[in-house]
Amino acid sequence: MTYRRGKLFSSRLLLTVLLLTLIFFFIGEIGKRSGIHAAPPYTVTVKNTRFLYGLGRGPTHSPPNNITTYYRGYGMPGTVIEITAEMNVNGIPSPMYGDTVIAVQFTDGTGTGTFNVTIPSGSNTGTAGIPYNTISAPAFIVAASSTVPWTYTAIGVSGNPLASSTYTSNPPFDTAVIYWDNLDVPDDVNFPPLLPTDIVLNLTTSSFKLLWKPVNTAALLNEDFYEYRVYYQEKGAAIWKLWNGANDPSLRGLINNPAGPAWPDDPAKHFSGGLKYTTIPNLKIFTKYSYYITAVDVFGNETKPPAVPFDVLTQPYSILIKISDGITSYTDFSNLANPQLRTLRETNTKVEIEIVSSATQPDFIRVWYTYNIYAGTSTDIIAGSNTINSAGFPPDTLFSVLAERKAPNKYVAYLSSQTPVIKAGNEVRFIIESNFSNVPTYSDMDMTDENPNNNEWTFYVDTQKPKFSPWPVRILNNVITAKHPVSYPSYYLSEDAMVSIKVYDVNGRPVTTIIDNQFRRGGQNIKEDGWTGVNKANRKLGIGLYYMHFYAKRVSDHKIILDKFQKLVVAK
């Protein structure tokens, strides 16, 4: 019995010891977790730092604002920092034991501030609102009209169970950068266009196409670009109309505005020869418009318009042309590539112009003419900026002449044979300038393709001298009637002369001038524009007898070589 009791006692003692050992073990574990005992060595490692929300762009935004660089608006709340960290206890990664505070420093290299991000116990991620102006962070200052990068770096860790912890980082994720924009418009050396020469302009009857050098959005500080905007109005109107990405999607977004040494010639993105373009449609025919272009970023910062907006004049509906050397005339320009289909003598070439447009008429018409001075080439008369390409032509190869208004919509110009252009063997080409309120528009035969250079009117100057008998001074149809309403002055010049032809009534009073001191080449018969029996104000004269005076002075010595009067009648 005694032996058995001793054995039983030993067994109970052993069980008691084991039980106490287990109890103390669990107590120790509980103590560790509750902080009763000293914590083992903890290591907190910041794994990633990124920014969420807020107006702007960045890798956490959805398209089209998803880019690799963070942009935010200075003074605009809503941007949040997110820090992801990992706690390591005795070599085992785990979430945070207790709330863990990460200290974050932000700086632009001059100003510096700090704020805290708390990662809750049991989590690996914590967030906090970011200071966004001087009120939320006095050290945080971004000058107006600038974009400044600020870096955000985790610099320390604290919390109840972390008294003996070690903080580490995992570069480069512990440092992140935001480009803070403070009213900084998308501007660089290329934009905005401030002069008409900064813009290439193509015109049709009811639209104009603008081409300009784009903002370099591949460069930092311009990656917050949002869209281009064109403001336009009829000249003098009270309200500007807006043409933007809602009208033309290619005006909006970085993807439609690549930049660099070689811009793509991509119609889908509206690029041509490295220039960005858009076309403003549905305009009035032959009407003056004002316009300017701006660029705006995602924060609504928009470039300023030029001090004076640009002006443009849409094309007339059509221009009808008739050319003549006084004997032969042409109205058919269906084959412009073969000027010899329209062969004229080497004399002053008469160009009759009829403008078909709306009620608006040009203030004046000018003819620009030249010839193919380079073998196999043809230099454009109009430069890309809707201006005369004077620099592209050698001296004495490009000329212009003002057309005289003969009637509403009708004008006449003479291309002088005194120039090197109207010479035997030359293929001559010309375009028309219509000018309204000092705004020119340039037209060739096709006014629908936005290019006034590729369908110029053409003719050929004959190398063969014509054979003819000299005409006397006379009037072709010297009785003006309803059936025959036009009288034509005709004459022969033996030498080059300056010619005037005027009409007088029976009392010797001048009633109209047909031509006044105009150069005419000698050695040829000449037929001038007809007279319809109207006065200088284009009003019909009364029935009666009139006189047409032919007067010419020789160019070489100003001697009078023609001084004749011819009778004509204005009948019922």
Cα torsion 62, 65, 69, 75: sign: negative
Residue 193's pLDDT is what?
Answer: 84
Contact 449, 436 (CB under 8 A): no
551 pairs with which residues across the strands?
Answer: 500, 563
Q: How far apart are CA 286 and CA 441, in angstroms?
A: 9
Residue 243's pLDDT is what?
Answer: 98
If phi over 0 gives left and psi between -120 and 50 gives alpha, with beta otherwise, what is residue 418? alpha
Contact 434, 411 (CB under 8 A): no
The helix or strand, by DSSP H or E, that contains position 457, with its residue range, turns out to be strand 457-461
Contact 259, 216 (CB under 8 A): yes
Residue 8's pLDDT is what?
Answer: 41
Contact 44, 87 (CB under 8 A): yes
Contact 272, 160 (CB under 8 A): no
Residue 280's pLDDT is what?
Answer: 96
Residues 6+ apart with CB under 8 A from 129: 77, 79, 80, 81
> Rounded to a whole number, what is the distance in angstroms from the first to the last CA of the chain?
167
Q: How far apart are CA 87 and CA 169, in angstroms?
A: 12
Three-state DSSP at 534 gives strand
Residue 352's pLDDT is what?
Answer: 94
Residue 98's pLDDT is what?
Answer: 86
Contact 346, 422 (CB under 8 A): yes
Q: What angle do CA 472, 476, 477 make, to 5 degrees?
A: 145
CA 467 to each of CA 349, 402, 470: distance values in angstroms, whole numbers, following the listed order: 18, 31, 10
pLDDT in tens, the chain (572 residues): 333 444 444 555 455 545 545 444 444 454 444 443 444 567 888 989 999 999 999 999 999 999 999 999 999 999 999 999 998 887 788 899 889 999 999 999 999 999 999 999 999 999 999 999 999 998 999 999 999 999 999 988 888 666 555 667 666 667 899 999 999 998 766 677 888 788 888 899 889 999 998 888 877 889 999 999 999 999 999 999 999 999 999 999 988 887 655 666 677 788 888 889 999 999 999 999 999 999 999 999 999 888 899 999 999 888 999 999 878 899 999 899 899 999 998 888 999 999 988 677 889 999 999 998 654 557 899 987 788 999 889 899 999 999 988 888 899 999 988 899 999 999 999 999 999 888 899 999 988 888 899 899 999 999 876 666 788 999 999 999 988 999 999 999 988 999 999 999 999 999 999 999 989 888 888 889 899 999 988 899 999 999 999 999 999 899 999 999 999 999 97
Residue 382 carries which DSSP code? B
Q: Is 333 exposed, middle or buried (0-12, 13-18, 19+ CB in 10 A)?
A: buried
530 pairs with which residues across the strands?
Answer: none
The Cβ of residue 47 has, within 10 Å, a number of other Cβ atoms equal to: 14
192: preceding bond cis by omega (within 30 degrees): yes
Q: How far apart are CA 369 and CA 352, in angstroms?
A: 14
The Cβ of residue 70 has, within 10 Å, a number of other Cβ atoms equal to: 24
Contact 350, 520 (CB under 8 A): no
Q: How far apart are CA 203 and CA 192, in angstroms?
A: 21
- Token match 């050397």: residue? 325
Q: Give the 3-state secondary structure of 396-438.
A: CCCEEEECEEEECCEEEEEECCCCCCCCCCCEEEEEEEEEECC
Residue 26's pLDDT is what?
Answer: 46
Question: For residue 132, which of 81, 171, 175, 78 has the smallest C-alpha distance?
Answer: 78
The Cβ of residue 370 has, within 10 Å, a number of other Cβ atoms equal to: 22
Rounded to whole angstroms, the maximal C-alpha distance in the chain is: 174
Cα torsion 25, 28, 30, 32: sign: negative
Three-state DSSP at 288 gives strand
